[in-house]
Amino acid sequence: MTTIAVVDYDMGNLHSACKGLQTAGATTIVTDQANDLMQADGVVLPGVGAFDPAMHHLRSRDLVQPIREVAASGKPFLGICVGLQVLFEASEEGSEPGLGIFQGSIKRFLPEPGITIPHMGWNQLALHQPDLPIWQGLPPQAWVYFVHSYYAVPAQPEVVAATVTHGTQPVTAAVARDNLMAVQFHPEKSSAAGLQLLANFVEVVRQGQLVTSR
């Protein structure tokens, strides 16, 4: 039985993420207990909302160090939306330090002609690490669903797993390194492509394989 812990820290979309994982055959545990994260076969950190409240909730539940330890352990780990952003060191959205699992920061979209803020709706991925197991079965330019006003700027460009064009420049849509994968879009709202991604993550957990060799 493949057990995936979904981190509960009052930042939304837990049940929709769980449903997609369960459809793919995983048993999910919604939890804010460090022991559950350590014992699970894989961990998902979802999130809807703002950076500072997310970090405040993680700290208030003593989850910062356990999440760092899980990330360093080799256990398959998937961050979603704000669950991607808090993996970085800081955000222009607030003043709280992030988890610092990825080097870099979260920047706000700058106004420019023709750009909408927040970036909301369907957009096409450009895959930068196309051989990742997490992308298995997705078309090269899959349509996925975004809702965000801030985006990740990694200090190490090689961790960028996908980008999306919003405005004049491509921006980070996913990052991956070793056992870690995180996406700015919402798989649970992304129809067939999103369900495929969640199913791929379940398969990664089932096989115990690394997400990327970087």
Residues marked active site are found at 81, 186, 188
Whole-angstrom Cα Rg for the chain: 16
How sure is the predictor about 180, in pLDDT bands with cuts at 50, 70 and 90? very high
Domain that holds residue 187: 3-207
Residue 212 lies in a domain: no
CB crowding 94-104: b at 16 or more within 10 Å, else e: bebebbebbeb
How sure is the predictor about 3, in pLDDT bands with cuts at 50, 70 and 90? very high
Residue 117 lies in a domain: yes
Q: How many separate domains does the chain show?
A: 1
Q: What is the model's pTM?
A: 0.95
Q: Left if phi > 0, otherwise alpha if psi is -120 to 50, otherwise beta: which for 205?
A: alpha
**CATH classification of the domain holding 73:** 3.40.50.880
Residue 66 lies in a domain: yes
Tens-digit pLDDT profile for residues 115-170 = 899 999 999 999 999 999 999 999 889 999 999 999 999 999 999 999 999 988 89
